[in-house]
Structure 1
């Protein structure tokens, strides 16, 4: 039996090639996430699904408020008929994110009959899964997913993975404005994008 030993230089070359391929995949995914969030759809749908974000007491955080305002604009210009707010309780002394979103929308003259909520979710996948259950109960079948631009690709991919007729509707403005905050968000989204591709969660 031949005892063939792979030359060290070939091991180094293979390692470098694998690392380079991984870095290229990461860079390509990050770029596609960034570009995907910069495109908008002029599509009419049954509902806007607003993905939850932090609340500050009884008020939405600036990030959440951007999402709510965008959904309200979609509702008022006739792009959607209803709004589904998602998100459960973050801190125990705070109301559910969805309830804060609903109250904010009511104050902006959105009809109560056109607002639905789910208050149990803690993750993006749960946001969408629970929103789908609400939608099914009200015969809603076509959706605009509302979130920050860098959050859109993973969110829509998840929604479509659940069998939803879902389309992206990123907020036209974002609280992640500085280069540092955008890169931090993009890095996090790229990581979770790969996690979803592998584990579907």
Structure 2
């Protein structure tokens, strides 16, 4: 019975040179998508303090713990509530996963925001935000959002801005600061791979897993707010 094959390393200088070149090329290719995200979102991401006044904020789901928002998601919602209390936004669109009966991110997000001072009438739920691309496309096509402040962790926010801009939503990203724990580092490493998928999403513009009919929730919430005109976003542009 044969044992596992052992990795065979090059035995010549030429072989080592080819291996080094292949590794270098692989590293360059792996870094291209994150570099693209950084370059294309320059000037369109910052902190809560620097967020422009905009009608709509979009908060992306980040998991539940025993039916409650995870600490990372709670920090995103805290930022949205702070922007609302400061009069910087009028409506919050919460977008997350509700693919099964026992898991409902949007309703948990709504409940949390109401507890923190955001009126229920100013919150709109997207129950089919299964990933960032789906959330961005649905914000535009289903809820009619043309411009928005996006709220997520710093390691994710540039990807969110790039995808929402590609979907036709002029966006400014608010990166929420968090303690650099194991979860944070996992998210940061995951983004290296997610950047590649983002590049494919922007290139091929796939349909969301579920699109569905247009919904008037954002329009009605803005009508309830009286909808004061918002100033243009920094470097405001759709695509």
TM-score normalised by the chain length of structure 2: 0.67
Whether the 8 Å contact between 2:147 and 2:169 is mirrored in structure 1 is yes
Quick one: which of 172, 177, 190 aligns to 2:180?
A: 177
- Tell me how far apart the structure 2 counterparts of residues 169 and 141 of structure 1 sit (CA, whole Å): 17
CA 1:163–1:30: 2 relative to 1, 3 Å: closer
Query: Which moves more between the two structures, 84-93 or 72-81?
Result: 84-93
> Which ranges in structure 1 are unaligned for 5 or more consecutive residues?
1-7
Query: For the structure 1 residues 90 and 54, does the alpha-carbon distance in structure 2 shift closer, same or farther, using more than 3 Å as the test?
Result: farther
SS at structure 2 position matched to 1:44: coil
Any stretches of 5+ residues in structure 2 without a counterpart? 1-11, 207-239
Q: 1:133 & 1:199 partners in 2: Cα distance?
A: 16
Structure number with higher helix proportion: 1
Corresponding residue for residue 193 of structure 1: 195
- The answer to whether the aligner puts 1:87 opposite 2:92 as a matched pair is no
Q: Report the 3-state secondary structure (helix = DSSP H, G, I; strand = E; otherwise coil) of the residue aligned with 1:45.
A: coil
CA distance in 1 between counterparts of 2:106 and 2:170 reads: 22
Contact kept? 2:81, 2:117, Cα under 8 Å: no
Q: Distance in 2 between matches of 1:90 and 1:78?
A: 33
TM-score normalised to structure 1 length:
0.78
Aligned to 2:85, which of 48, 54, 76? Answer: 76
Aligned-residue RMSD, C-alpha: 2.9
Instruction: Tell me if the contact between 2:56 and 2:91 (Cα under 8 Å) persists in the aligned partners.
Output: yes
Q: Secondary structure at the match of 1:13?
A: helix
Offset at residue 161 of structure 1 (A):
0.7
Match of 2:24 in 1: 20
Structure 1's 11 and 38: CA in aligned 2 closer, same or farther, altered over 3 A? farther
Are the equivalent residues in 2 in contact too, given 1:88–1:121 (CA < 8 A)? yes
- Tell me how far 1:46 sits from its aligned partner: 1.3
TM-superposed CA distance for 1:29, in Å, is 5.8
The Cα shift of 1:26 comes to 3.8
Alignment partners' CA distance in 2, 1:104 and 1:42:
22
- Name the CA shift for 1:151/1:193 in 2 (closer, same or farther; >3 Å): same
Q: How many residues align?
A: 186
